Amino acid sequence: MLNLLVTFGEDSAYTAYVVLRTIAIVAMFLAALVAIILVLLQESNSEGIQGITGSSETFFGKNKGKSIESKLKKWSWICLGVLAFLAIAFYIVVIALGTN
């Protein structure tokens, strides 16, 4: 963030680099925050003592594709994929355009 306060003349390429880098960092932060929230909202997969006695079929067990848990899991994977893509793109941009 200190780079935003220090200007090195009217170099538009450097300004674009700083703006893109800042946008990428903010987007990665938001994607990580959303992914953390989505994972925390999901229920645990461990069945505890019920795993010994057997499984019971419930409405949500039969229709798992339409349940809230499956939607949370799907959006968690999407959010983590976006985070991975942004991290790789950020690394490439930092290596290609500058060393800061």
pLDDT tens, position by position, 68-99:
888 888 999 999 999 999 999 888 878 877 65
pLDDT of residue 2: 46
Residue 92 contacts residue 27 (beta carbons within 8 Å):
no
pLDDT of residue 33: 95
Is residue 16 in some structural domain? no
The pTM (predicted TM-score) of the whole model is 0.65
Is residue 11 in some structural domain? no
Count: domains in the chain: 1
Q: State pLDDT tens for residues 28-75.
A: 999 999 999 999 988 776 665 555 655 555 555 556 556 888 888 899
pLDDT at 100 over 70: no
Is residue 14 in some structural domain? no
Is residue 1 in some structural domain? no
Q: How far apart are CA 44 and CA 93, in angstroms?
A: 38
Is residue 69 in some structural domain? yes
Domain that holds residue 99: 32-41+59-100
Greater pLDDT, 45 or 9 = 45
Burial bucket for residue 31 (CB in 10 Å: 0-12, 13-18, 19+): buried
pLDDT of residue 58: 58
Is residue 50 in some structural domain? no
* 91-96 contact pairs (CB < 8 A, 24+): 93/17, 93/20, 93/21, 93/24, 94/21
